[in-house]
Amino acid sequence: MKTCVCGRKTGDSHSQCLACRSTERQCVECSRTFVGARRRCGSCASVQTNEKQRDKRMGLQPGQFDQMLADQGGLCAICFRSEKMVRAVTQRVTGLSTDHDHMCCPGSDSCGQCVRGLVCRNCNTLLGMAEDNILILQSAISYLTKFAFLRDQASVGNHSEPQVGHPLDVAVNDNITQKGK
């Protein structure tokens, strides 16, 4: 027979007594109401478990992911945007992915020494599809720059200014201007 956190004997193999297991509570994370003796609802407890598993899989020390996230201002290390993907179950935005050098650690797990930064799902997919190959990514930049230059040349007659809506747009427009000189 076990003793519940409230001090009562459980009367069976459960770690909580029947009263605690059937008590309605409010989640300390999301304020949802749930039944049980835990402090967090199932969704929030799952997120916490997933974070611990992520840290273990990626070879990160406790708090290292949060420090990296703070250092990057909560934004993707590549596109400087926040993650936009929303989990269906929790309706929360997914966290940034931990990017690592696949030459050091092939697959989805990392030793922790080859972690490069945190990236959004789109940029993580970009790196994966390019197989972390710098030549492929440089070729893609050249390809896009060529057609952006042609597009901007065509719009010169329209006297339209390039639209800048993102820090990377400024860099691309500056690069195009330099090539046009």
Domains in the chain, ordered, with CATH? 1-38 (no CATH), 41-129 (3.40.1800), 134-180 (no CATH)
Other beta carbons within 10 angstroms of residue 6's beta carbon come to: 11
CA angle 21, 54, 90 (to 5 degrees): 50
Q: With cut-offs at 50, 70 and 90, classify the pLDDT of residue 14.
A: low
Task: Evaluate if residue 28 carries a pLDDT over 90.
Answer: no
- What does pTM read for this prediction? 0.58
Q: What pLDDT is attached to residue 176? A: 45
Q: What pLDDT is attached to residue 118? A: 95
Task: Evaluate if residue 20 carries a pLDDT over 50.
Answer: yes
Summarize the confidence of residues 81-93 as an average pLDDT. 72
Task: Evaluate if residue 166 carries a pLDDT over 70.
Answer: no
Summarize the confidence of residues 43-67 as an average pLDDT. 83
Q: What pLDDT is attached to residue 167? A: 53
Summarize the confidence of residues 75-91 as an average pLDDT. 80
Task: Evaluate if residue 83 carries a pLDDT over 70.
Answer: yes
Q: With cut-offs at 50, 70 and 90, classify the pLDDT of residue 127.
A: very high
Query: Per residue in 2-11, pLDDT tens?
Result: 777 677 776 6
Task: Evaluate if residue 109 carries a pLDDT over 50.
Answer: yes
Q: Which residues pair with 107 in a beta bridge?
A: none
- Structural tokens at position 152: 């901007």
**In one letter, which amino acid is 23?**
T
Q: Which residues contact 63 (CB under 8 A, 6 or more apart)?
A: none
Summarize the confidence of residues 136-162 as an average pLDDT. 77
Q: What pLDDT is attached to residue 13? A: 63
- Structural tokens at position 90: 């929790």
Task: Evaluate if residue 27 carries a pLDDT over 80.
Answer: no
Q: Where are the beta strands (DSSP E) in the chain?
A: 24-26, 33-35, 97-100, 115-119
Q: What are phi and psi of 146, to 5 degrees?
A: -55, -50
Task: Evaluate if residue 181 carries a pLDDT over 70.
Answer: no
